[in-house]
Chains A and B, each alone.
Chain A
Amino acid sequence: MVSTRELRELDFFKDFQESELAALASIASLTRWNEGEAIFHAGTPATYLYTLKSGTILLCFPNGRSLPLREEGHALGWSSLVSPFRYTATALCLSDVRLYRFSGRELYRLIQMDAAFGQRLMHKIARVMEQRRLYRQGKSVRQE
């Protein structure tokens, strides 16, 4: 069980209201991953949104570019909320990792119930998408 306090400490959720955090905490679960494990693969159906609690994750895009994430609160798996609902990158654990996991379906249910929450969440997601646009859309690197 994840507490509201834990989520409030994450940068990604700092603008959310207490009731919204409580709703998010009710659908969140803390997951643990080992070094070298893949959390998800590019092109597979996106079912979960994750926020980083600890550890380092490498987002590897199909064009060969990659982005390490190691700051607490970084979000990954935004594709679970954006059509066509397929992950755009492969997420590899560079160390032992702890992540908060949110089901995309449950998040949609919360969005349908509270438009203001939906707007706040999608605003955050849009920012993450924009930050990673260059990585996602950059020219492919040569393969050996």
Chain B
Amino acid sequence: MYGLQAINAANGWAVTIAGISIVFTGLLVLAAAMANLQKVLNLWDRKGDLLQFLKAKPEAQPVQQPPVPKEPGEPAAAKPTGMALTSQQVETANAFQLIINRLGEPFSLFQLLEKASLHGISHPHHHLDTFLKLHLIVEAEGDQVGLYKWRNDVQIVSAEGEA
């Protein structure tokens, strides 16, 4: 028995289709894994924060109290300074903060730039210049001159309306 008859007799068509399906499924899985690799690596970078978040005990929700009218001369409570940035700047600021968490404060701007370039952050030099001009990154004092700190008292908000 030869040719198509032999293929039919030995379930050749079914085996071929099964083989093609297996190979293509494998390729699909591989492509999906590669497409999402960046997200997995970002999660890996933030593993410290995530562990901290998971370990944190849920705090008791404060009971809602009706607002008490303030006395005329009473000073207002100190609020963190807000700063509106573009969505790209917010994204870069978040990435910079993750790198700084790893480097520890005070940190070296050169190391920050190196790590930012390594992580594929676009235009790290330009963004560093912007953050320095906005005083989001400030120089340390005393014998730590030339090293820098991230202003944690500044709350970054997106100019497009996202936090």
What is the interface of chain A, defined by CB distance below 8 A to chain B? 35-36, 56, 58, 60-61, 63-68, 70, 90, 92-95, 134-135, 138-139, 141-144
Chain B 88-118 residues near chain A, CB threshold 8 A = 102-104, 106-111, 113
Residues of A within 8 A of B146 (CB): 61, 63-67, 134-135, 138
B130-162 near A? 1/0 per residue, CB < 8 Å? 001100000000011111100000000000000
> Contact: A66 with B145, CB < 8 Å?
no
> Contact: B126 with A65, CB < 8 Å?
no
Q: How far is the CA of A90 from the CA of B103 in the complex (A)?
A: 20
Residues of A within 8 A of B109 (CB): 58, 60, 66, 68
Q: Does B125 contact A (CB under 8 A)?
A: yes
> Contact: A64 with B102, CB < 8 Å?
no
What is the interface of chain B, defined by CB distance below 8 A to chain A? 102-104, 106-111, 113, 123-126, 128-129, 132-133, 143-148
- Pick the residue among A63, A64, A70, A93 that contacts B125 (CB under 8 A): A93
**How close is B149's CB to chain A, nearest CB, in angstroms?**
13
Q: How far is the CA of A141 from the CA of B110 in the complex (A)?
A: 11
Q: How far is the CA of A66 from the CA of B124 in the complex (A)?
A: 16
> Contact: B125 with A92, CB < 8 Å?
yes
Residues of A within 8 A of B107 (CB): 141
**How close is B99's CB to chain A, nearest CB, in angstroms?**
10
Q: A92-B113, A94-B125, A141-B108 are in contact. Are A68 and B132 (CB under 8 A)?
A: yes
**How close is B14's CB to chain A, nearest CB, in angstroms?**
56
Q: How far is the CA of A65 from the CA of B142 in the complex (A)?
A: 13
Q: How far is the CA of A49 from the CA of B102 in the complex (A)?
A: 36
Q: A35-B123, A94-B126, A144-B102 are in contact. Are A135 and B145 (CB under 8 A)?
A: yes
Residue among A56, A67, A141 with the highest chain B CB neighbour number at 10 A: A141
Residues of B within 8 A of A67 (CB): 146
Residues of A within 8 A of B145 (CB): 65, 134-135, 138
- Pick the residue among B108, B129, B133, B144 that contacts A66 (CB under 8 A): B108
